[in-house]
Amino acid sequence: MKSCGVIVEYNPFHNGHLYHLKKAKKHADADCMIAIMSGNFLQRGEPAIIDKWHRTEAALRGGADLVVELPFLYAVQHSDFFSKGAIQTLAELGVDSVCFGSENGDISAFTKAYEHMHKWKEEYEVALRQYLNEGLSYPEASRLGYEAIKFPSGTIDLSQPNNILGYSYVKQLLTYAPEVEPLTVLRKNNHFHDEDITGSVASATSIRKELLAKGEMSSDAQTTIPSTTEEQLQKYKDGHGLWHEWEAYFHLLQYKILTMEESTLRCFHGVEEGIEYRLKRAIKEATSFHEFLMKLKTKRYTWTRLQRTLVHILVGTDKLEASQLLRATPPPYARVLGMNDSGKKYLRMIKKETTIPVITQPQQLESEMLDLEARAAAAYYSVLSPAIRVRALKKEYGAPVIL
């Protein structure tokens, strides 16, 4: 049974994802498509529009055979840790290949870039440090660092943000799991952070923006997602009363930051370089999440970095614990969020070969990483009304989605 891994957020699962799964399956000649998916909080430091269970069901109905959770601590991270968590988990699950979408579509452009980077690592790091010392943000400094080491033609352009994640996957694969084949397929929509819907393949960002602005399913949104996703979005809203976005959490964040001393804020993952003082000052005056971010943003602190830090404050990710957990290799477990028959069959097949526990419910294992996951779930659901919240929290300890 041949398997292929994909690294996803499915926030929400849309036509581009459907296309990618189909193409990847064909390209990898796979019998089982394994999606490792962020849970309730996402890489850019945002709550998912609907919870992981409803996104899992949409993924299974859209072509995934097995959905595994990327633990919260890896999911809300810059590309290095995000990729490390995803690739290592997929490798532990014995995938034959990992396939990601790219604007290039040629895997050798990524592997060659990795070789070039490997050779010029020191020069890159000198340049990176210099730009960081000048007060630039990490993405901007690394972009200039990549420019400094001049990638030869035939390699991807790492100064383009859209290439960074794919590059990180390839780097992690070549470093930690050389037995897994890296694959890429051409992305149908090249602009995956587009703000507006322009056709039937739109960015998840534009679809969320449309849904949250309208507050209900719109015909524009409908054209961009499979009907199975539409069902899950509707079902979530009917059962939980909302689609999630940062603004709904603002009062909790404000309450938390205002009732903490700077010295306590400093203990959260991502709170560095005295930003705790800015946080306390800015939140006193802000009346919305957006206004808060506008007050916080500087050349050095990008919107995404700030959002990630705020997610870790919201959830209460302890800095020391996080750094210990992130150092551990491989991840402590793989947690199945959902599967169909092929997924089940695959799991049975690999059962004896995996070195990390494969679990379907968190109570099957004692792990700090899972305790953190439970806190993330509690934070995510804390904007629901009381009875719905209690029910949603129980789901965290329930069975996975079986199709």
Name the binding residues for ATP: 7-20, 101, 162, 187
Residue 257 C-beta: closest distance to a second copy, Å: 9
Q: What is the three-class DSSP state of 335?
A: strand
Residue 34 structure tokens: 């394994």
Residue 36 C-beta: closest distance to a second copy, Å: 25
For the segment 300-319, give every residue that binds a second copy (CB under 8 A).
314-316
Of the candidate spans 10-18, 85-93, 114-122, 259-267, the one that interacts with a second copy by CB under 8 A turns out to be 259-267
Spatial separation of the C-alpha atoms in residues 81 and 325, rounded to whole Å? 11
Residue 356 C-beta: closest distance to a second copy, Å: 23
The single-letter code of the amino acid at 279 is L
Total of residues contacting a second copy (CB under 8 A): 29
Spatial separation of the C-alpha atoms in residues 359 and 13, rounded to whole Å? 24
Q: Does 366 bind a second copy (CB under 8 A)?
A: no
Phi, psi of 183 (to 5 degrees): -130, 155
Site string for a second copy, 161-200 (x = CB under 8 A): ----------------------------------------
Q: Does 82 bind a second copy (CB under 8 A)?
A: no
Residue 4 structure tokens: 């292929």
Q: Does 287 bind a second copy (CB under 8 A)?
A: yes
Name the burial class of residue 141, with classes exposed (0-12), middle (13-18) and buried (19+) by CB atoms within 10 angstroms of its CB. Answer: buried
Q: Does 139 bind a second copy (CB under 8 A)?
A: no
Spatial separation of the C-alpha atoms in residues 214 and 208, rounded to whole Å? 10
Long-range contact list for 199-207, CB < 8 A, 24+ apart?
A: 199/223, 199/224, 200/15, 200/224, 201/14, 201/15, 201/16, 201/19, 202/14, 202/15, 202/16, 203/16, 204/9, 204/10, 204/11, 204/12, 204/14, 207/12, 207/14
Beta strands at 66-70 and 334-339: parallel, antiparallel or unpaired? antiparallel
Instruction: Please pick, from the candidates 258, 294, 328, 399, the single residue that binds a second copy as defined by CB under 8 A.
Output: 258
Q: Does 371 bind a second copy (CB under 8 A)?
A: yes
The single-letter code of the amino acid at 100 is F
Instruction: Please pick, from the candidates 320, 329, 355, 386, the single residue that binds a second copy as defined by CB under 8 A.
Output: 386
For the segment 235-254, give every residue that binds a second copy (CB under 8 A).
250-252, 254
- The residue with tokens 């507050």 is 215
Of the candidate spans 73-81, 100-108, 163-171, 384-392, the one that interacts with a second copy by CB under 8 A turns out to be 384-392
Residue 379 C-beta: closest distance to a second copy, Å: 5
Q: Does 322 bind a second copy (CB under 8 A)?
A: no
Residue 264 C-beta: closest distance to a second copy, Å: 8
Residue 158 C-beta: closest distance to a second copy, Å: 37
Spatial separation of the C-alpha atoms in residues 72 and 308, rounded to whole Å? 11
Q: Does 395 bind a second copy (CB under 8 A)?
A: no
For the segment 337-356, give every residue that binds a second copy (CB under 8 A).
none
Spatial separation of the C-alpha atoms in residues 121 and 108, rounded to whole Å? 19
Q: Does 393 bind a second copy (CB under 8 A)?
A: yes
261 or 353, CB closer to a second copy? 261
Closest CA to 140 of 14, 304, 333: 304
Q: Residue numbers of the site for a second copy (CB under 8 A)?
A: 250-252, 254-256, 258-261, 264, 284-288, 314-316, 371, 375, 378-379, 382, 386-387, 389-390, 393
